[in-house]
Amino acid sequence: MSEATFMDKAAELDAADELAERRKLFALDDGTVYLDGNSLGALPRHVPARLADVISREWGELRIRSWEESGWWTAPERIGDRIAPLVGAAPGRIVVGDSTSVNVFKAVVAAVRMVADDARDEIVVDATTFPTDGYIAESAARLTGRRLVPVSPTELPAALGPRTAAALINHVDFRTGRLHDLPSLTAAVHDAGALAVWDLCHSAGALPVGLDEHGVDLAVGCTYKYLNGGPGSPAYLYVAERHQARFDSPLPGWNSHADPFAMAAGYTAADGAPRGRVGTPDILSMLALESALDVWDGVRVAAVRAKSLALTDFFLECVEAYAPDGRVTSLTPRAHAERGSQVALSCAEAPAVMKALIERGVVGDLRRPDVLRFGFTPLYVGFADVERAARVLADVLAEVPAAPRD
């Protein structure tokens, strides 16, 4: 098809898009195609006013009274309940706070403690995981006297057995955008008598997760990608209801005490999701996140997933039509059941290509040495954006000299 034909197709798809009006809720300029929401989501337009009120009135005027009068104290659970439907969880199972790394540590150590079987001396981890998860899992293994077993997700079922205490798995591979089969892998972990811990950083807000439906034990995720919570916005921890009474956090802080203001010398864990709290909540970033979540009001996750797949399908189609032969290869699976909400292209000249793309208003990101990564956030990315991004990519590839081939 010609460029004009692809532009016409993009216009038709945008006209039929039930989520198209959501773009107006974000601070985006027409001159930029923003395809890096899988690293940092765009700013919802109303958040600055809300944060200004938090600073000037709640902090500036009410001061300490805001812990009670403005609901600061209950924010971690309240915001957790707003995230819950986006990942398929009932209220009371998610608490917001700390970073993803800290929550991974809590979840993995708590999983080993809940299994409470010295014969289960292995922690299985996704070998392709985001590096921090691997670092944390290794530390958790040392702390609990377990051995770390890194395996690819495709090999995970075969690696499970009577020695497995827990498995830490990424729902979507951060490099390739490959979606791993959460229901079947969770079932395999349970069949082995272990607990499943899932990292949802690249899936929450982009596709259905089904934590309760699929019997996930523990899960963590960030909020600054598809949930648009802002740079460094707090992460969250999911603890299945059946495990909450036994959840034994390795970081028992005063905020998770059953009676935090008693300031008792001994620790007694709170009931439910608050067991996942540690120290004083980071209120400014937490309330910015709470406000950002307003953009999800009335949005069906199924519609988000349908648009995500349509966007990535169309991008791959346009790249295939526009890009010079042999310059880029998709690392992202074509099969919908195996694809998250990003497209990763292998390109020998990736650093120079991404630099040129950003200079021309197409913002993706680079994963060294040779991966061009493009994230498609259905709430604000349109099909015309997709066509333009592929067209500019083709222009850049035509201008950037090809690296010598062996």
Catalytic residues: 130, 199, 224-225, 373
Residues 6+ apart with CB under 8 A from 257: 264, 267, 268, 269, 270
In what order do the strands lie in the sheet containing 342-346? Answer: 329-330, 342-346, 371-375, 365-367
Using DSSP bridges, classify how beta strands 218-221 and 195-199 pair: parallel, antiparallel or unpaired: parallel
* 131 CB neighbour count, 10 Å cutoff: 8
Q: What is the CA radius of gyration of the chain?
A: 22
For residue 220, CA distances in Å to 45, 375, 388 come to 27, 20, 34
DSSP-H helix ranges across 145-282? 156-159, 182-191
The answer to whether 102 touches 127, Cβ cutoff 8 Å, is no
Give the tokens for residue 247.
């959840």
Q: For 350-359, which contacts have Cβ atoms below 8 Å and span 24 or more sequence positions?
A: 352/400, 353/393, 353/396, 353/397, 353/400, 356/396, 356/399, 356/400, 357/389, 357/392, 357/393, 357/396
Give the tokens for residue 77.
């659970």
Angle at which helix 383-399 crosses helix 350-359, to 10 degrees, equals: 120
At 160, the amino acid letter reads: L
How many Å apart are CA 36 and CA 32, to the nearest integer?
11
Residues 6+ apart with CB under 8 A from 288: 47, 50, 51, 54, 229, 230, 233
